[in-house]
Amino acid sequence: MAFRNGMARGGRDRAWPRREAWWGMLFATLLLWGASGGVARAQSDFIIQSIDNDFPSEIADAAGNDKNLIIFFHQAGCPYCDKMRARVFPDPKVDGYFTKHFVMIESNIRGSLSVVTPDGKTMTESDFGHKMRVRATPVIVFYDRQGHDVLRTTGYLDPQQFYLAGRYVEDGVYKSGKSFFRYLRDQSQ
């Protein structure tokens, strides 16, 4: 039996469970929003999605804008791929430098989309990954403006290493015959 003030017998408010659930949802939402930094970060500016996965035309378009193409080979469930997307690509130094000098396209090594490889052959993403001998991910392949692959890295690179990989390609260090790993070592001294 309810009393006039909306309280049930025993002094308990019937609306309390609904209020408690509402406050719980509000708290959880704020907690998740705060954990994400408050604002969702947009995709890095140098990462594009190809409409037709025609890599020779992407290389030509990038070269026409005085940029190099990068193909980022990944697969679902790859923790280091996710870590690079979350920590490396959004890094201000990386994002700024790569937006100015590079265009990056992702390719799923288990994917079934049709791609035209840099050498002009049409195949699935999966077959392209196999052709490129991608066994573990991430694999990042840097192409020069003529479409030659000039640097290939396997595994996670921290923001500084990834930035230096870009410098290695953009500055033409690969043309001198110096390996990327020697270049990294020289830069850290």
What averages of pLDDT result for each successive group of 10 residues across the chain (189 residues)?
A: 54 57 52 42 71 93 96 96 96 96 95 95 97 96 96 97 98 96 93
**pLDDT, position 42:** 53
Alpha carbon distance 179, 162 (integer Å): 15
Q: What are the residue boundaries of the structural domains of the chain, listed by start? A: 55-188
Whole-structure pTM value: 0.76
**pLDDT, position 165:** 98
Q: How far is CA 55 from the centre of its chain?
A: 18
CATH 3.40.30.10 fits 55-188, yes or no: yes
**pLDDT, position 43:** 67
pLDDT in tens, 127-178: 999 999 999 999 999 999 999 999 999 999 999 999 999 999 999 999 999 9
Here the tokens at position 74 are: 């990944």
The per-residue pLDDT of the chain, averaged, comes to 85
Quickly list H helices, 36-148: 55-64, 79-83, 92-101, 125-131
Q: Which residues contact 66 (CB under 8 A, 6 or more apart)?
A: 101, 145
Alpha carbon distance 34, 42 (integer Å): 17
